[in-house]
Structure 1
Amino acid sequence: MARKTIKRLETDLKNVEFLYKQELEENKRLKNLVTGKDVIAQSEYDLLLKDYKHMKDMRDNYKILYDNLRVRYDALKNSTVINNQTIKNSRGAGRKAFNNAGIIKRIYELYIQGNSLKEIADILNGSEIKTKRGGNWSKSSIRFILLNRKNVENEFINEDIYNRTVKLLNDRKKK
């Protein structure tokens, strides 16, 4: 069976709950048939009974899938920090944190002084300062550093500078 995301599975569960309500209605109809209140052909009765069993099986299977996926999702959600630099999940994936305090402080200073993300990237590239992976700076890499709360936690900058920067980013984005 194809992999499903939590959101997709939750949507499917809502659909299954709708089917469950229909199942209850079908169950009432079947009970009326058994008690003789409504009379229908045997073939129609067999078809209704088959649909009822199919809906019940499908709902049960979705609930099992959802429960299993929820357990896996909760385990992945609790990611760990390794060497205080790389945030990894259970597969070992994660983004490397840039940890040069001097460069990080300079990026914040340049942004607070009024430079755009592109201008800061150009300044760093012009100074031949490379990213963690040895590449050139881009607007998105500058933005990632400016919005990275780990810079406060690692004491590269203080809380006030971080908050001013986030406010400036939001204000400039609106223009």
Structure 2
Amino acid sequence: MARKTIKRLETDLKNMEFLYKQELEENERLKNLVIGKDVIAKSEYDLLLRDYNLMKDMRDNYKRLYDNLKNRYDKLKENSSVINNKTIKNSRGAGRKGFDNADVIKRIYELYIQGNSLKEIANTLNGSEIKTKRGGIWSKSSVRFILLNHKNVENEFIDEDTYNSTVILLNDRKKK
């Protein structure tokens, strides 16, 4: 069976529950056939009963698969912490690590508040041979990521007012 996400399994389970309700109705109809209220051929009865059992088995398998995946997800969630409300950092330390050079971060904010564009700031940093966290060159998006990263305030690289005014400036310049 192909891998399934929790959301996909939840959707499949809802569909299976709907089918289960139909199965119950079908089972009731089968019981009436067995009792003799509605008479059909024995081969048709056997076919309907086999289909009913297959549907029940499939629903049960999906339920077990969903429960297993949900338990694994919950355990992973217990051992994780959320970074920037987006990235999950697990016990091994995996996840995106922010740029932590306070002097460069302050300089980026100063340059932006002075009126430099994101591209101009990237060019200035690249001209000064300052590398990104991963040792690469600066781009507009990497500068923007620094400017919008609230962790810079939490780590006390900049103050809340500087951060807020930068976000306002970014939004104003984006509209132009």
The question of a shared fold, defined as TM-score above 0.5 by the shorter chain, is answered with yes
Q: Which residues of 2 match residues 1-175 of structure 1 at below 5 A?
A: 1-78=1-78, 79-80=80-81, 88-90=89-91, 92-173=93-174
* Unmatched 5+ stretches in structure 1: none
Q: How many residues align?
A: 171
Question: Structure 2 vs 1, CA of residues 149 and 68 (structure 1 numbering), >3 Å: closer, same or farther?
Answer: farther
Report the residue type matching 1:6 in the other structure: I
Report the residue type matching 1:62 in the other structure: Y
Q: Which moved more, 1:106-115 or 1:164-173?
A: 164-173
Question: Structure 2 vs 1, CA of residues 88 and 168 (structure 1 numbering), >3 Å: closer, same or farther?
Answer: same
Q: What is the Cα-based RMSD across aligned positions, in Å? A: 2.5
Q: Which moved more, 1:36-45 or 1:129-138?
A: 36-45
Whole-angstrom distance in 1 between the partners of 2:77 and 2:88: 12
SS at match of 2:57: helix
Decide whether the 8 Å contact of 1:76 with 1:90 is kept in 2. no
Decide whether the 8 Å contact of 1:130 with 1:136 is kept in 2. yes
Report the residue type matching 1:28 in the other structure: E
Q: C-alpha offsets along residues 68-97 of structure 1, whole Å, 9 cap, x if unaligned?
A: 21122223334248xxxx973256531222
- Residue 101 (structure 1) shift: 0.8
Question: Structure 2 vs 1, CA of residues 131 and 90 (structure 1 numbering), >3 Å: closer, same or farther?
Answer: same
Whole-angstrom distance in 1 between the partners of 2:32 and 2:126: 78
* Unmatched 5+ stretches in structure 2: none
SS at match of 2:109: helix
Give me the identity figure in percent. 85
Report the residue type matching 1:61 in the other structure: N
Whole-angstrom distance in 2 between the partners of 1:134 and 1:65: 43
TM-score of the superposition, structure 2-length normalised?
Answer: 0.81
Question: Structure 2 vs 1, CA of residues 103 and 60 (structure 1 numbering), >3 Å: closer, same or farther?
Answer: same
Q: C-alpha offsets along residues 79-135 of structure 1, whole Å, 9 cap, x if unaligned?
A: 248xxxx97325653122210011112222333344333232222112211011211
TM-score of the superposition, structure 1-length normalised?
Answer: 0.82
Q: C-alpha offsets along residues 23-80 of structure 1, whole Å, 9 cap, x if unaligned?
A: 1221222122123222211111111111111111111111111112112222333424
Report the residue type matching 2:105 in the other structure: I
